[in-house]
Structure 1
């Protein structure tokens, strides 16, 4: 994408006559049969405003019954559309929904995730938040992590701490303000079209990559701490590992694409992984080097104890393991992404 060619400022003026017909909701799916109906119900059934909002489920070829569930719901709801997403990736699916199905009256794009549950009136509140901030190109919200089994609950607790999120304002945050990145909630479609949407080649980190281009084009992001979403954590250690491995690779790709200098908190997991590996490799020749990994393991153990106390449950003992997975998988994915990107350059 040619970012330099997209520098023309966008008129921030806003028609205060906000109507449901101005809003399009895009929900990418791929094998989300366990969650999609509950997600759609939380969005569509909680507010009469949504009766005339266009909802588009962009499905990447689900084989678990997701398409059949959405198709059946669409028979009862005329404002729900099932859209094929042959490119599979959620970034491409959102682009298809926003850039191909939006009409001349659509002014706001609301992005929702099938893996999440939304509070009452969420879509309307996103639209109103944009209307209240005419200088904002996008509005982002806060993720409140949740879980059902013990591992999920411990993961949810630790990921919303500074050690789990690096202090990201959109992870369990409680303050509104201007930010450089957050959990995508709403876009002004004029900005989304001008930037040609997400990079459709990104499987992960497409939101952060979009925010980089938006900032360079002069757009601003407003974090509204009242736009909160319950996010269901991955149910197993393996699933969490795969998720954060992909997050790390996605961040590396964004760094390379835009020649960015990442912040220390963003690359801390990769630096920690390199340091741990270095210490373990020299420990046979210099045993004191084991002090660094031993200290890290002690911190993880302490986190598990604190989590158990705060959660008032032995499920919290999983917190240290979850944090180890988050740090190690993200760091390994980031290093792998950098290595592949530099090699292919």
Structure 2
């Protein structure tokens, strides 16, 4: 094996391609993973466009190697790592805390001030590559029933599961989800598995038809949305005006969950929350939901594989990020670095 590998590298807004880079070496406490699948995320597209907030805050700089939704096989381990990891199929947590701060000690490493983020913050190259190195402590083993496609859907699924859990809906409850993209549809899948009646609101008829093809009959544009009591509303969009609409539409005593991020600040009248006794929850990161997501996939309770509309090689990533790759109704694109 040569000392280099192929990886997708962003060199600036709108600029990036496949480069030969040094292969990672497992440092003490780390493993190297041969990547089988990696998902292309909206965050990656924001890095490509230059709109991602971390670029302005200084948490991330070009050049950068994106990719934080992945699955693969452990090919080497560093000092201090149990050799039993070798050959295991795994996925990994994106958020890597410093392990010493108060938040990390309380199990909240995903909001550690000094955290690294695989493929997102400086210091941790991402998974749009043939290999990546990650701490062994971030790994989650994948059972045989969770194939590489499902494995690379664990990270977005963990975010969605946390949002669905925060909505706290079940039998007899009605949930409204804004945004029938990858996260919104996954939220809908987890909520349906919990017994809730799920409604989805979107903009394009194509995305709504796709939602209906997955068994979500209640898929509407905003103008078509029926006047019904919604026990919870999840906003999985990037529209600055929709957080306020979520608070307006939810039933008094209900819950609104915010998992989407807009490019500009949203305005929300907190009097709406107070006077209607509404609980508002923000969701950042899949970290606390990864294990439960793997269990849901392994049991067959939730199967998001239909959301993957295409699997491409590294050389196609730039076109995908630029929106030029032919896309069907399924919202997720996966990358198999072995295809090129």
Q: Same fold (TM over 0.5)?
A: no
Q: Which has the higher strand share?
A: 2
Q: In which range does the TM-score fall when normalised by the shorter chain? A: under 0.3
* Higher radius of gyration, 1 or 2: 1
Q: TM-score, normalised by structure 2?
A: 0.26
Q: TM-score, normalised by structure 1?
A: 0.26
Q: Which has the higher helix share?
A: 1
